[in-house]
Amino acid sequence: MPHAFKLDKEFGKKGLVLLLVESQMGNAPKEDVLGFLMQKFPKDFPKSNVFVTVGEGGPFPSGSNGLPHCALVGVDGALLMIGHPGQLGSKLDEAIETELKKVKSGWGKSPEIKKARALLHGKTRLGEAAKALAAAESKIKDDAKDDFAEAQSELEAKYAAMKNAVSVLMEEGRIADAKSAATDLQKAVKGKAEWEAEAATVVAKFSTPAVEEELKADKSLTSIVKSIGEKKPTEVHAKKLDAFAKKNDGTKVGARAAMLAKAAAWKDESAGAAAKKDDGAAAKKDEPQKKDGGDAPPKDG
C-alpha cells in the first residue's frame, strides 16, 4: 500500500489510476477496510485518489501468496506487468511513464485515430474526439478499421464512465465531488449536441433544494474529516462523525458519515490477539520448570 500511495503522488495527476483490491480481510465490510487505511496510513490515505474495492477478490493470478503485489494495465487494456513492486523496481516506473506519454499523444493505426485518442484520453475532450472520428471514418483504410472501431468504443465507454461517476459519487454521499464530476462532464462533451443535452440535465440536478441541502451537509462533513489531519482518528472523531450521522439520518451524506464513524472507531483485533499470544508465550517461558518437565512448585514452598 505505501508503494501505491507513492505512485499516486508521482503519477496521479498525470493520469495514472490506482486501484487497491483488498484480499486479506475476507468479507470484511467497507468501513473496516477504510478503518484499516485511516489507522495505518493517516498521512497518505486522506490525500490520495487511490480507489478501494471490497470483496472483489484478486483480478489477476499472482502465482504467489507474497505481498505486496501489483499489476500494470496499459492504455489499451493489456496486462503489461505483474509481480512484487520491489522486484519490478524502476522498470515499473518506466512502463508507467511510457503509457502516460501514449495517453497524452494518442496512439493508433492512422493519424486520425491517434488524434482522436489524444483528444479523448489525453485532454478529455469527448465532443471534439467524436467530431474527429466522424470526419475520419471515410478515410480509414482497411487495415485500420478494427482499430477505428475500438477507438469509437473507447469514446462511448468514456462517456458512460463519466456519467456513471456522477451517480456513484452521489450514492456514496460525496456530493461536492459528484457536482465537480458533473461539471467536468459538461465541459468534456462540448461539440456533440446529444451529449450536451444529457450533461445539462445531470448538472441541473444539483440546483434542486434537496441536493443543495446535501451539498451543505457534505461541506460540514468535510470539515470534520479534515480535523483529523495527518493523525490517526480518535474516539473523539468517531463520536463527532456518529453525532453528525444521526443528525443527518436519511441523507446520503449522513450514511457516509455513519460509515466513516465506524471506520474511525476501527480496532486492529488481529494485532491485539497477536500481542496476547506473545505475552502468553513470554509468561510461560519465564515460569520456572521442574527438571522432569512438570509444573514447578510454588515459590513459597
Is the pLDDT at 70 greater than 90? The verdict is: no
**What is the average per-residue pLDDT within 93-112?**
92
Chosen domain end from 86, 101, 116: 101
Is the pLDDT at 214 greater than 70? The verdict is: yes
Residue 283 lies in a domain: no
Residue 271 lies in a domain: no
Query: Structural domain of residue 132, as residue ranges?
Result: 107-207
What pLDDT is stored for residue 292 in this prediction?
47
* Count of domains for the chain: 3
What pLDDT is stored for residue 40 in this prediction?
84
Chosen domain end from 207, 227, 244: 207
In angstroms, rounded to a whole number, what is the distance separating the alpha carbons of residues 284 and 288?
9
Residue 150 lies in a domain: yes
DSSP 144-189: GHHHHHHHHHHHHHHHHHHHHHHHHHHHTT-HHHHHHHHHHHHHHT
Q: Of all residues in the chain, what percent carry a pLDDT higher than 90?
A: 52
Same domain, 144 and 178: yes
What pLDDT is stored for residue 52 in this prediction?
67
CA of 66: how far to CAs of 81, 238, 243, 274, 295, in Å?
16, 34, 41, 20, 41
Same domain, 174 and 219: no
Residue 32 lies in a domain: yes
Sort residue 15 into left (φ over 0), alpha (ψ -120 to 50) or beta: left
**Which SS3 state, helix, strand or coil, does residue 66 take?**
coil
Same domain, 126 and 192: yes
**What is the average per-residue pLDDT within 195-200?**
98
Residue written as grid cell 456533440: 192
Contact partners, residue 211, CB within 8 Å, separation at least 6: 175, 205
In angstroms, rounded to a whole number, what is the distance separating the alpha carbons of residues 176 and 219?
8
Helices 209-228 & 235-247, crossing angle to 10 degrees? 170
Same domain, 80 and 131: no
Same domain, 113 and 97: no
Amino acid occupying residue 273: A
Residue 133 lies in a domain: yes
Q: Are 224 and 242 in contact (CB under 8 A)?
A: no
Q: Are 127 and 195 in contact (CB under 8 A)?
A: yes
Which of 77-91, 197-211, 248-262 bottoms out in mean pLDDT, i.e. has the lowest?
Answer: 77-91
Which of 45-49, 112-116, 297-301 bottoms out in mean pLDDT, i.e. has the lowest?
Answer: 297-301
In angstroms, rounded to a whole number, what is the distance separating the alpha carbons of residues 58 and 285?
41
Same domain, 30 and 73: yes
**What is the average per-residue pLDDT within 185-208?**
97
Residue 90 lies in a domain: yes
Chosen domain end from 43, 66, 101: 101
Same domain, 123 and 201: yes
In angstroms, rounded to a whole number, what is the distance separating the alpha carbons of residues 164 and 181?
10
- HSE-CB of 280 using CA atoms within 13 angstroms: 6
pTM of the model: 0.78
Same domain, 8 and 86: yes
Q: Are 237 and 227 in contact (CB under 8 A)?
A: yes
Same domain, 18 and 63: yes
What pLDDT is stored for residue 274 in this prediction?
47
DSSP 6-27: HHHHHHGGGT---EEE--SSTT
Same domain, 32 and 94: yes
